[in-house]
Chains A and B, each alone.
Chain A
């Protein structure tokens, strides 16, 4: 199959139009003061909101950490990018890029997932999670809260928290010290 085996087959894109201001959308995806509904209700913790800083996505109570990474770009209110690694799997990190663009009907929001390790659990989860991330962000900005189904899902997460593996405990994933497993920066 010609041109089939490009770098791009490790990429996925998700786009949605959001009726709202670009500043509100930016604030929602970079907030550290409250859980971010669009990011599966994770509370984002960073050393600094700047490139090079470590980042962690923790449960609302802070006990568990599902995702860690390093900020690659922080360019308000246009682009936020960071590496992304599930604490639960031993897969290499991928890259997530959030692009915001002002359009005729509001904000054009694009989530790009790059450098996905082929055939891994990470790749599967990222592809499945994309539509929920962008649609929840749209719902939060346009209606003030996630859809009913998404809120039910957050309830399920809370119920399942005791089943989280010990390695995901937040004490294993600080953001203010160098990570135990260094995150590769192979994205331009």
Chain B
């Protein structure tokens, strides 16, 4: 049996073009209202709210109450986690490169110290 992947919610939230568009809008206008988000679509405010709920459950949208209205924010952290999931294995490559740079910098520093002595 395939185990449920905790990132399923993120991928299914991102699978819908309207929800990706909502994220685009929130990147441009952090703290936008539900009303303003809905005004950018042809579908109803109820439909917009349904999409927002999916995004919120996936942790991609954060909603903050301000009196009677809500301010919406895009949370980029889940996207970063997706990135880290497949790229961290390649970090060892960078570690090797960085170690190279370090030894080159240190060798040069030692050489210059000798020259100045």
Contact = CB atoms under 8 A, between A and B. Distances in A.
A and B pair up: yes
Nearest to A4: B29
Nearest to A7: B31
A60 interface: no
Interface of A: 1-4, 6-9, 11-17, 110, 130-132, 134-135, 147-149, 152, 155-156, 159
Contacts of B62: 13, 15, 110
B107 interface: no
B10 to A, nearest CB: 13
Given A2-B39, A159-B101, A9 B88 contact: no
User: Chain B contact residues: over half helix, strand or loop, or mixed?
Assistant: helix
Interface in B37-77: 39, 59, 62, 64, 71, 73, 75-77
B36 interface: yes
Contacts of B95: 148, 152
A43 B94 CA distance: 26
A45 B62 CA distance: 31
10 contacts: A1-B29, A3-B36, A11-B31, A13-B75, A14-B76, A14-B77, A15-B75, A131-B76, A148-B92, A155-B98
A155 B76 CA distance: 25
Interface string B20-38: 0000000011111101100
B76 A149 contact: no
B3 interface: no
Contact of A2 (B36, B59, B76): B36
B115 to A, nearest CB: 17
The 5 nearest A-B residue pairs measured at CB:
A8-B31, A131-B80, A149-B91, A13-B73, A3-B36
Nearest to B83: A131
B81 interface: yes
Nearest to A17: B59
Contact of B31 (A6, A16, A147, A159): A6
B76 A130 contact: yes
Contacts of A15: 59, 62, 75, 77
Nearest to A150: B91
Contacts of A6: 29, 31-32
A4 B30 CA distance: 9
B12 interface: no
Given A14-B75, A15-B62, 8 more contacts: A2-B36, A6-B29, A8-B29, A130-B76, A132-B80, A148-B92, A155-B98, A159-B105
